[in-house]
Structure formats: C-alpha cells, structure tokens
Structure 1
Amino acid sequence: MTTVQVNGMEIGYDRVGDGPPVVFLHGAAYDARSWRPQLDDLADEFTVVAWDEPGAGRSSDLPKSFGPADYAHCLAAVVQSLRLGPAHIAGLSWGGTLALEFYRQHADLVRTLILADTYAGWKGSLPAQEVRARVEGAQRMLDAPSEEFDPTLPGLFAGEPPAAYASLLNAMDAAVRPETMRAQLLLMAETDQRDLLPTVSVPTLLLWGEQDVRSPLTVARQFQEAIPRAELVVIPEAGHVSNLERARDFNRAVRAFCRLHS
C-alpha cells in the first residue's frame, strides 16, 4: 500500500504494473479490494491504481461536512503522486459520480473517463420517487442496531454474487463504517451533475451491466446523449457491480479503450 497525506488525512491506495495510469474509484460500501480483478489483469500494460477513498479501507475517517469537491482534491493528490501525468479515471456507481466531480475540479489530470454503472448523482439520474425510496431504505439500514447492521445494498448483481469473490465481499461488508456510508448516500441523493455532462471533452467510455437494476440502461442512454462522443459498451448478464460479475468482459473493454487513448 502507498499513502499520501492530504490536509491531515492519510489516503491509501494500491499500485501495480507499469505504463499509462488507470485509476479506479470504488462504489459505496466497498474499498480498493473491489478492484482486485482489474489490478490482477491489467497490470501487464498499465499502471493500475485503486484507492481507498476517505472513510474507507485503510484511509482516514471521513471529516464532517466533507463534500464531492473534497473527495476530488484528495484524488488529485493521489494522481499527482504517481508522477505519470493525466490518468484514465474509472469509477463504478458512487465512484463514477466522484470521477465526474474530479473532472469538474481537475480536468487537467484526466486523460479519459470510464463511467461504469453510475449516476450523475441520484438526483441527476433517477426519478424523485426512487431517490426518496432509496434514502428511506438507507435510513432504516443505518438506524438498525449495530449487531443487525448490514451494508449490502439490494440489486448489486444480476444473479448470485460471484462465488469466487464471496469472502472478499464479506470482508468489505465487515469493514464498512456506517457514518461514511450515511454521508455517501446523502450526497448521492443531493447531487445533480447533469450540467457537467455536456462539458466533458475527454474520451469517455460508458460501461454498463445489461441487467443493472440500480442504474438501469436508461441512465446509460442519458449519459450517452449528454456527453459528446461518449461510447457505450453493454456487458451481457451483468448487474450493477459489473467489474466483479463479468470481470473478463469488463477488463477487455477497459483495456481496449485505454490502449486506444493512451
């Protein structure tokens, strides 16, 4: 693990391989370990980085009143510490929302964007009724007694969670910090990045699970229409966490896109 210091916080990340940098941003309730198949597979051609965002994994706790721009500034410190210039920035779900905010704040550090099964914030991508239902469900989950707390969000996979990653998923669940998750989900409910999408000028790959029910293909089409020249790749038989459920297809698409634009 490598670390950087940002405003008194320690931010941890994994780095493997050599070549153009590809930086992966995990979803809510996950950490850098969720990118294990990408770290293992892509390091033969790229410098592959997976961070633990503030409040997750090996990084410091999330400060109070921490907003999307604060996450972006922490990520900037990670990218700059690589000393490899602008990076391919790849985010899944909440991580994709952070990738967009990073582009807003630090476009000079972005070579391309890879947005997987994500949102322009819940407010920017989902009907208001659905946002309310998710907030209410999250509140019930977070208000449960500590011994009953289960951070698993519904609809993450098209089928059963991949057996190969069962122990990994359990370990990440056990490491979730409830206050981090509370802050993330509230930020998702409040965030609307639709104004940003038409301004994206770097090559953009939209990578979506065909059976994603959390961020359905209708959201992918919204992104495709709004971001100039965005490319959409749909992964068959994959749900929301497409990088684990269909890792080979996910990695193939990332490799081809980054190779083309490196």
Structure 2
Amino acid sequence: MTLTTLQLSKPFGKVAYRATGDGDPLVLIHGVGMQSAAWEPQIDALSQSHQVIAVDMPGHGGSDALPTEASLPDFVAWLHVVLRALGTGPISLAGHSMGALVSGGYAITYPEMVTRLALLNGVFRRSQEARTAVIARAEQIRSGMIDLETPLTRWFGDGKADMAARVKVSDWLASVDPSGYATAYSAFARGDATYADRFSAISCPLLALTGDGDQNSSPAMSAAMAEAAQNGKSLVIEGHRHMVNLTAPEQVNTALKDWLKTPFQSPLDQKDTSHEHV
C-alpha cells in the first residue's frame, strides 16, 4: 500500500498516510520512531470491515516534523487538523505507545470526534523514577545520542515472531528523521500525565491493551486507564512485550475487531470495566 500525502496549513506542513478499505473510518497512530507501516497486520485485517487510515506522525515516515518545542497537545492539535483535512467525521481511534498518548488526548479534547478509543501499550502516570529516566533519554536523543539497541532489547524477546518483527522495527528506527524523532520523544517523555486527570471524561468504549512483558507500558497502566474511563476494558496479551501488534497480530486483531463492534454508551450509562488476560 502506497503513501498518500496531504499539504496542511502552517505549522503542520505535509502529512503522509495510508488508506484502504470501506466502511466507518478507523484511524491508527503509531509510536515514536515508527511509521504507519508498523500497522500492516491491523490494516490488512481491519480494512475488510472499515476504512482504515494509518497516519505517519510528525517527523516520521513522510510527514513533516512539528517545531522542536512541540509538546503533546501540539500533536493532538495536529491530529485534529489532519482529520478535518481528510473529512473523516467521527472515527474509531487506535494508538500505540506515543500514538496512544496522542489518541487519549484527542478523545478528551474532541469527544464528539471519537466513537471508540483503543490504547495499545500506552503509558499512564509513570513513577517518578521512570519519568526521570525517560526524560534523560529524551535529552540524550535531542543531543544526537541515539541508541537503537536498548529499546529493541527491551521491546523484543527471543521468539521467532519477535525476531522477525525486530528486523522491521530496527529498520524504521534507523530511518527516522533525528530531529523529528527528538521532538516526538520529548513530548512522549513528558506527556504521560498531561491528560491523565481527565480520563474520567472519556465516555466512548475504551480498550487499553498491552503485553504482560512490557515494563514501561505496563498491565497496571492499562488497568488504570480502563478504570479511569467511563466504559473501559483492559486486556493483557501474555508472553509479549511492547510491539505486541506485530508480535501477536492475531490476538491483537481479534481484540480490535471485538472493540470495533462495541456499541457506544453515553455518559449516563452504567460503567462497565473489566480486566482480562489471554
């Protein structure tokens, strides 16, 4: 599937995206250092029932970077400009890692635009120790010290599926624009609590999914996000880590298909939060 580009107004510049399928729109936002191609297993499976739009985040793939001082709300504003330019109307929205931060912030800021929300391997209220460490890494990246091996070791195990996915992820990380990567990572490092206190305003069906081996986007964080929302559910994929959409695509696709069938519940409906392991 080829990239399509769209010219936005300043300061957003060019955005690149992949779109396929027919039906209600589903928008996919990837994580820091990745690109829209990282959603390939989900694009293939979910475009059978939906129009799937996978967007390159600013400074990634074919999209222009945001200004270097951009913070998480700037990425949320960028997404709104993209969706208005595409004329999607209300969407189902799924984000992975940094994309989950953007997606959560978007659902809170523009609730009328989001009918369902899925947060894969998202971060939520890091500990002070974890926050200090990730901000230090952001500063290293901004200074030009980009270490690819450390995140790859943290994200993947030794299984066959992990090793195959690791090759692709390594290539994406190696090809990302350093300045755009630094800007996005800084927003990611400082954004885990930006919208956390407002999760109770999320009334659409929310799925918070992660792998049981993901230490930085932990099952406890997914459970906390689901608990904070009005209609939240958390799901933990056992035996997998941070890139669970690539290492366990069938399980993730099944979960997302079920999520896409979940009817919208108004804020007046009774909250139904559950936690599962599979």
Fold agreement, TM-score > 0.5: yes
In 2, the alpha carbon distance for the partners of 1:200 and 1:260 equals: 15
Aligned to 1:60: 64
| Matching residue's letter, 2:247 | E
For the structure 1 residues 221 and 158, does the alpha-carbon distance in structure 2 shift closer, same or farther, using more than 3 Å as the test?
Answer: farther
Tell me whether 18-27 or 177-186 shows the greater mean CA deviation. 177-186
Identify which of 78, 81, 86 aligns with 1:77: 81
Residue 65 of structure 2 aligns to a residue whose secondary structure is coil
Alignment of 1:17-56 (within 5 A): 17-56=21-60
Give the conservation status (yes or no) of the 8 Å contact 2:108–2:201: no
1:255 aligns to 2:257 (yes or no)? yes
TM-fit CA distance, 1:152:
5.5
- Report % sequence identity: 25
Identify which of 218, 228, 231 aligns with 2:230: 228
Aligned to 1:87: 91
Tell me whether 26-35 or 100-109 shows the greater mean CA deviation. 100-109
| Matching residue's letter, 1:156 | W
Aligned to 1:209: 211
In 2, the alpha carbon distance for the partners of 1:56 and 1:151 equals: 19
In 2, the alpha carbon distance for the partners of 1:53 and 1:195 equals: 25
For the structure 1 residues 151 and 142, does the alpha-carbon distance in structure 2 shift closer, same or farther, using more than 3 Å as the test?
Answer: farther
Which sections of structure 2, spanning at least 5 residues, go unmatched? 265-278
Residue 95 of structure 2 aligns to a residue whose secondary structure is strand
TM-fit CA distance, 1:255:
0.9
Deviations 1:8-55 (A, max 9, x none): 401111001111111111111111111111111211111111100111
| Matching residue's letter, 2:46 | L
Aligned to 1:129: 129
Deviations 1:100-157 (A, max 9, x none): 111233222111110111023xxxx211111112222343455456xx7537625213
**RMSD of the TM alignment (CA)?**
2.2
Aligned to 1:157: 156
For the structure 1 residues 212 and 149, does the alpha-carbon distance in structure 2 shift closer, same or farther, using more than 3 Å as the test?
Answer: closer
In 2, the alpha carbon distance for the partners of 1:158 and 1:45 equals: 32
TM-fit CA distance, 1:158:
4.4
For the structure 1 residues 151 and 4, does the alpha-carbon distance in structure 2 shift closer, same or farther, using more than 3 Å as the test?
Answer: farther
Give the conservation status (yes or no) of the 8 Å contact 1:20–1:47: yes
In 1, the alpha carbon distance for the partners of 2:223 and 2:147 equals: 35
Residue 155 of structure 1 aligns to a residue whose secondary structure is helix
TM-fit CA distance, 1:2:
2.4
In 1, the alpha carbon distance for the partners of 2:239 and 2:92 equals: 26
Give the conservation status (yes or no) of the 8 Å contact 2:96–2:121: yes
Tell me whether 130-139 or 109-118 shows the greater mean CA deviation. 130-139
In 1, the alpha carbon distance for the partners of 2:8 and 2:18 equals: 17
In 1, the alpha carbon distance for the partners of 2:183 and 2:261 equals: 36
Give the conservation status (yes or no) of the 8 Å contact 1:13–1:52: yes
Aligned to 1:239: 241
Deviations 1:48-96 (A, max 9, x none): 1110011110011222332323222221233234444211110111110
In 2, the alpha carbon distance for the partners of 1:30 and 1:155 equals: 15
| Matching residue's letter, 1:245 | T
Tell me whether 222-231 or 129-138 shows the greater mean CA deviation. 129-138
| Matching residue's letter, 2:183 | A
Give the conservation status (yes or no) of the 8 Å contact 2:141–2:182: no
Give the conservation status (yes or no) of the 8 Å contact 1:224–1:231: yes
In 2, the alpha carbon distance for the partners of 1:142 and 1:251 equals: 35
TM-fit CA distance, 1:225:
2.0
TM-fit CA distance, 1:188:
2.8
| Matching residue's letter, 1:127 | S
